[in-house]
Amino acid sequence: MTAIQTEGLRKTFGQVRALDGLTLSVAPGIVYGFLGPNGAGKTTTIRILAGLARPNGGRATVAGIDILAGRRAMARRIGYLPEEPAFYGWMTPRELLDHVGRIFGLSASEREARTRELLELVGLTEVSKRRIGGFSRGMRQRLGVAQALVNRPEVLFLDEPASALDPAGRKEVLEMIGRLRGQCTVFMSTHILADVERVCDTMGIIARGRMVAEAKQEELVARYAIPAFEVECDHGGEEHLATWAGALRQLRWVNSVAVVGATARVVVSDTEAAKRDLLASAVQAGLILTRYEMVRPSLEDIFLRLIGEGRQIQ
């Protein structure tokens, strides 16, 4: 069974199509990175899946429950942290978590045990009696995750949980999210590539309300890998490099050659031929090399390529 499943999900605001047939599938127990530029439809998707907005079309299930037919039952099995959580500043973390426990019908002993457990999980035990109004943004984000976990949800929705934090706060929040792996399914929206690389098992990339790619990180890199080699020579050898690049462009296994300063990037169609002949060709051309390597695209390269393709979807 999938933890989250959508098929052709659509949402419009007037003439604006926020979601345009979004289909995705999330396995249980993983940290899923929902990645896309600002305005791609990430928050709209999370609000619909959390039961806070209704789609105009399509269908979706969360924890095996239809989001429209079973909203009340689903609400007890999910947790949700908005991008900017708001708390009563006069409350303490202990008071807040106890209050949320009451909403979910936990007994006094259950609330006490769960509050203690969650404060330890998010690293707020030592400040559990301080007023929330004096907390930093990172502390409030961690507290927000704690309140979203009070009911032991099967699925936890996090909307940009680390986007406004400084590096130290981001590290703390992401490490905490990583510790939830296996305890529940975490669906985390973000536009920050480094956050996805650090903590997510699988990612879905959305553009203009549509899914443009969905896979494990290593599968995504392998799928969109373009065989390329970079050759760098001593400064002063740029003229020889340009001459060599011109000769390379005539070879049938070379797709393109781009020269920037003392570095040439060679995209090939036959990796084995390049491995066999490229270095020998550079040496024969009299280049004095300082670097020679086969390169793979970064996650940023793939993201920008896919988002660019997504913009062409009509």
Q: Confirm whether 88 is domain-assigned.
A: yes
| Predicted pLDDT at 223 | 79
Residue at which a domain ends, from 194, 223, 252: 223
251 and 197 housed in the same domain: no
The dihedral sign for the CA sequence 126, 131, 136, 139: positive
Q: Which has the higher per-residue pLDDT, 169 or 130? A: 130
Model confidence at 201: pLDDT above 90: yes
Average pLDDT over residues 101-109: 95
24 and 122 housed in the same domain: yes
Q: Confirm whether 303 is domain-assigned.
A: no
Domain limits for position 234: 228-295
Q: Are 279 and 232 in contact (CB under 8 A)?
A: no
Q: Confirm whether 157 is domain-assigned.
A: yes
| Predicted pLDDT at 225 | 72
Q: Confirm whether 199 is domain-assigned.
A: yes
Q: Confirm whether 306 is domain-assigned.
A: no
| Predicted pLDDT at 311 | 46
pLDDT tier, 309 (very low <50, low <70, confident <90, very high otherwise): low
- Could you tell me if residue 157 is left (phi over 0), alpha (psi between -120 and 50 degrees) or otherwise beta? beta
We report the CATH number of the domain holding residue 262 as 3.30.70.100
Average pLDDT over residues 31-40: 91
Q: Confirm whether 150 is domain-assigned.
A: yes
125 and 93 housed in the same domain: yes
Q: What is the pLDDT of residues 220-256, one digit of tens each?
A: 877 777 788 999 998 777 888 999 999 999 999 998 8
Average pLDDT over residues 16-20: 93
d(CA 29, CA 112): 26
Give whole-number Cα distances, 259 to 108, 233, 281, in Å: 69, 11, 16
245 and 171 housed in the same domain: no
211 and 236 housed in the same domain: no
Q: Which has the higher per-residue pLDDT, 98 or 296? A: 98
Quote the tokens at residue 88.
Answer: 């009563």
Q: Are 257 and 248 in contact (CB under 8 A)?
A: yes
Q: Are 71 and 47 in contact (CB under 8 A)?
A: no
189 and 91 housed in the same domain: yes
d(CA 160, CA 145): 12
| Predicted pLDDT at 167 | 86
Q: Confirm whether 301 is domain-assigned.
A: no
Q: What is the pLDDT of residues 178-197, one digit of tens each?
A: 999 999 999 999 988 888 88
| Predicted pLDDT at 137 | 87
Residue at which a domain ends, from 223, 245, 267: 223
Beta bridge partners of 242: none
Residue at which a domain ends, from 175, 193, 223: 223
109 and 171 housed in the same domain: yes
Q: Are 37 and 219 in contact (CB under 8 A)?
A: no
Q: Confirm whether 302 is domain-assigned.
A: no
We report the CATH number of the domain holding residue 213 as 3.40.50.300
284 and 136 housed in the same domain: no
41 and 170 housed in the same domain: yes
What does pTM read for this prediction? 0.80
Q: What is the pLDDT of residues 79-92, one digit of tens each?
A: 999 988 889 999 99
175 and 281 housed in the same domain: no
Quote the tokens at residue 272.
Answer: 């084995």
pLDDT tier, 310 (very low <50, low <70, confident <90, very high otherwise): low
270 and 128 housed in the same domain: no
| Predicted pLDDT at 312 | 42
The mean predicted confidence, pLDDT, of the chain is: 90
128 and 267 housed in the same domain: no
Q: Percentage of the chain surpassing pLDDT 70? A: 98
Question: Domain count of the chain?
Answer: 2
Residue 11 main-chain phi, psi, to 5 deg: -150, 130
d(CA 267, CA 253): 9
The dihedral sign for the CA sequence 21, 207, 209, 5: positive
Q: Are 165 and 138 in contact (CB under 8 A)?
A: yes
